[in-house]
Every structure is written in C-alpha cells, then in structure tokens.
C-alpha cells in the first residue's frame, strides 16, 4: 500500500529555558543555560544540588486549581503544551472527525512526585493507609493523553509509550506510522516529565549518572567536553501536532516540516551503559535513513542524544562517523541538552521541536559549555560549539537513547514548495 505523507502543523513547549515555543527558541539560539540550584526541596544531603527546573510557571494560569490538584506535574505540563500546539496548528476542533484524532504521549517515569509524596505521608502517618483518592490516576504514565483526549473529545487511538529517555521519540514515531497507515488524520504527540524530586535526584545520584558540579551549575551540562561528569536533570514537556499531509493542505494549515522517517533499535548490551562502539546508535540511525529512503549525504543537522556523560558522548560520536562517513564532517552536530538539561521521557519531543525550528529559521543552536577537547572524540566534527550557526537545514535528525538500551531516531525534512 502507498503510505500517507505526514507533516507537523503545531508545536508547544514548556522548558527550563522558556515556557513557550518562542521563548524556548530564543533561549536555544542565545545559548542560555537552564541549570540553577534546585528550589523544589532541601538539597542539603544530596550529592547534586542543582537541575534545570521550569521557571516562573504557575499552573493556575492554565488550569483551575481544583482540577490541577488531581494531576501530577508531568500531566499538568502535558496539558499546557498540548493546548499551545493545538492553538498553534489552528485546528478547528468542532470541524474535526474526532474519531480520527488521537493522542500518543511519552513519559519515562510518570508521576514519580505523586508516588514519593504519598509514601512520605504514609510513613509520617505511622503507616496508616490514608491515601489520596487520586493517587493512582495521578501516578500512571498513561493519564496524560487521557486528560488531553477528555478535554478535546478526541476519540481516536490513545496511549503512552515508555522507553526511558526515548519515550517521546517513540511516541512521535508511533504517531507517524499510525497516520501513514491511515488510522488517524491528526495525532497530538510528544512527552512530559517532572522528575526533579527527592526520589528522582537521589535515584540518579545513586547510579552516579548526574553531574555534581555544584559550584557552577550553569556550566555543568557540557556534552563532548573532556571534563563532563554526568547529565543535568531537566523537566518540562513538548507537543507536536502530526497530520496527514492531504488533510493539512485541505484546511490550509501552516506546515513546519514533513516527518520522513523513524528508526528504532536496542543496544542489547547493558541496563544503563551504551554499547561502547555505539552499535545501537549506528543501527537506529541506519534504520531511520532506510525508513526515510534518503542517503546519509542528505542530512544537514543532527541533534544528538548528547547527555554529557563520559561513555555516551563518545559512543554516539563514533556511531555518527560510522554511519555518515566523510559526510559526517559536513553536518552541524549539536546537543541542546547543554542548555535544557536532560528531560528524560520528554527529551525526544523537546529536541524534535529544536530540529523543526532549525529547519524553519535556518539556524542550528549551539552546544554550550565546551572548553576542553576530549581525545576520544574526533575534533574535526562540527559540534556547533558555544555559538549558534546559520545554515539552510533541509533535513534534520534527532537522536534519543534510553536506559535499557532503547534507541529512537527521527528525520524531518523541509516541505517541498
């Protein structure tokens, strides 16, 4: 069968460097760091005392207080960005066939703060079982797309993908494929995460995964720099409206770009460490190029997974050289995590938005905080260090890799005029 073309017609973002898409893009292009001391809880006894929190955000500006209290922060974030994306898309909600509009969301953890706080209250109450009646609905990762569908009456396919840090990229790829196959006209997709909590920070500290650069948080996320010492926890959400190309054209929609391919793979190596030779990363990029039916030489920019971990950055850089050969030196490579931190399950969506805006505006955001080359990473690769670069980006790739060896890769292409 002939697959339908799929395009992006709306975007929404809530990030540590901007609470709307336009603010986020300004933060990216100006090289703003979202890292600062944590304000949500007392970090005195924690190894890492900073993160990339969402700032100047009040959920009651968007959702009634009574309703907001029924949601974990990751769901609140999802509702805000879904609204922004739907408004941006200029979809006429009443005119849609709502049986053919779906919501596919990504969350790596879900309501970790809700779970943590209920357990704290349980222990403080001398193990008396007095749980919040919304404990389970607030906790479960699939509740975010449920709330979005209820608000708008979208009765199409509806679920959450969970693949750690690849979760929202998986969601976007699923949305791509369901529209390609004709199961939906429009899908609200993306991801959200809110893991800057005692449990989240403590757990990742126990894994020795987080930077401990407490004396200078703003420079702690430093992908590809020799002195990187772990990732910086971020939070927030990103939403994309994916739409059947013919459906979008018929209603006169503004199109950001076409989604031309998605790739998936597994490292099958270790629960937290990447394959040392980047095997899973190589496979996922090759699978994505094959799915998109384009050659490696057509790719202009890659938003790397680039978490600022000692092992991950080296493995991914090796994989890029293996897949793209000599053309690797012609590609603008960057890691927006240097600014936003690592949004875990929301990373794929927020970084996909950065790739889409690179196509729209012809600018590749920088990888900030670079100062010292790593002898294990080819210095001839263009990592777009420290300053945004202008470039006519026709094809952009976005990589996300998760604990458990889950890898996802997406390709976007400037729409044919």
Phi-psi region of 326 (alpha: psi -120 to 50; beta: other; left: phi over 0): alpha
Q: What is the pLDDT of residue 112?
A: 97
Q: What is the pLDDT of residue 375?
A: 97
Contact 131, 122 (CB under 8 A): yes
Q: What is the pLDDT of residue 416?
A: 77
Per-position pLDDT tens, the chain of length 417? 799 999 999 999 999 999 999 999 999 999 999 999 999 999 999 999 999 999 999 999 999 999 999 999 999 999 999 999 999 999 999 999 999 999 999 999 999 999 999 999 999 998 989 999 999 999 999 999 999 999 999 999 999 999 999 999 999 999 999 999 999 999 999 999 999 999 999 999 999 999 999 999 999 999 999 999 999 999 999 999 999 999 999 999 999 999 999 999 999 999 999 998 999 999 999 999 999 999 999 999 999 999 999 999 999 999 999 999 999 999 999 999 999 999 999 999 999 999 999 999 999 999 999 999 999 999 999 999 999 999 999 999 999 999 999 999 999 999 975
CATH code of the domain occupying 7-250: 3.40.47.10
Q: Which residue is listed with tokens 């304000």? A: 39
The superfamily in CATH containing domain 262-410 is: Thiolase/Chalcone synthase (3.40.47.10)
Our CA dihedral for 324, 328, 330, 333, rounded to 10 degrees, sits at: 120
pTM: 0.97
Which residues are annotated as catalytic? 165, 305, 342
Q: Start-end ranges of CATH 3.40.47.10 in the chain?
A: 7-250, 262-410
Q: What is the pLDDT of residue 126?
A: 87
d(CA 56, CA 246): 39
d(CA 162, CA 218): 29
Residue 163 pairs with which residues in a beta bridge?
165
Q: What is the pLDDT of residue 401?
A: 97
Q: What is the pLDDT of residue 417?
A: 54
């Amino acid at each position: 069968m002939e697959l339908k073309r799929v395009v992006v017609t709306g975007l929404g973002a809530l990030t540590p460097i901007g609470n709307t898409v336009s603010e986020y893009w300004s933060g990216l292009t100006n090289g703003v760091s979202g890292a600062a001391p944590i304000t949500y809880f007392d970090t005195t006894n924690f190894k890492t005392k900073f993160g990339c929190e969402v700032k100047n955000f009040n959920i009651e500006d968007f959702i009634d207080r009574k309703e907001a209290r029924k949601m974990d922060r990751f769901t609140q974030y999802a509702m805000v960005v879904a609204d922004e994306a739907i408004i941006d898309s200029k979809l006429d909600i009443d005119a849609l066939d709502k049986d053919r509009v779906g919501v596919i969301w990504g969350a790596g953890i879900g309501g970790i703060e809700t779970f943590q706080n209920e357990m704290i209250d349980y222990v403080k109450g001398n193990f008396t079982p007095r749980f919040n009646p919304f404990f389970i609905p607030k906790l479960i990762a699939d509740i975010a797309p449920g709330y979005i569908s209820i608000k708008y009456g979208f009765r199409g396919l509806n679920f959450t993908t969970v693949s750690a840090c690849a979760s929202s990229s998986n969601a976007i790829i699923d949305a791509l494929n369901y529209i390609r196959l004709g199961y939906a006209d429009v899908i609200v997709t993306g991801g959200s995460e809110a893991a800057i909590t005692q449990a989240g920070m403590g757990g990742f500290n126990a894994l020795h995964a987080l930077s401990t650069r407490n004396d200078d948080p703003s420079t702690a996320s430093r992908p590809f720099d020799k002195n990187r010492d772990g990732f910086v926890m971020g939070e927030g959400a990103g939403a994309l409206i994916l739409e059947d190309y013919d459906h979008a054209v018929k209603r006169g929609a503004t199109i950001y770009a076409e989604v031309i391919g998605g790739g998936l793979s597994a490292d099958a190596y270790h629960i937290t460490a990447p394959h040392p030779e980047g095997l899973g990363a190589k496979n996922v990029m090759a699978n994505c190029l094959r799915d998109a039916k384009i050659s490696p030489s057509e790719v202009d920019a890659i938003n790397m997974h680039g978490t600022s971990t000692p092992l991950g950055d080296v493995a991914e850089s090796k994989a890029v050289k293996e897949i793209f050969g000599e053309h690797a030196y012609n590609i603008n490579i960057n890691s927006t995590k240097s600014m936003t931190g690592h949004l875990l399950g929301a990373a794929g969506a927020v970084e996909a938005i950065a790739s889409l805006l690179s196509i729209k505006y012809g600018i590749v955001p920088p990888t900030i905080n670079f100062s010292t080359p790593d002898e294990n990473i080819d210095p001839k690769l263009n990592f777009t260090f420290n300053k945004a670069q202008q470039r006519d980006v026709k094809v952009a790739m976005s990589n996300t890799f998760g604990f458990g060896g889950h890898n996802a890769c997406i390709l976007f292409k400037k729409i044919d005029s």
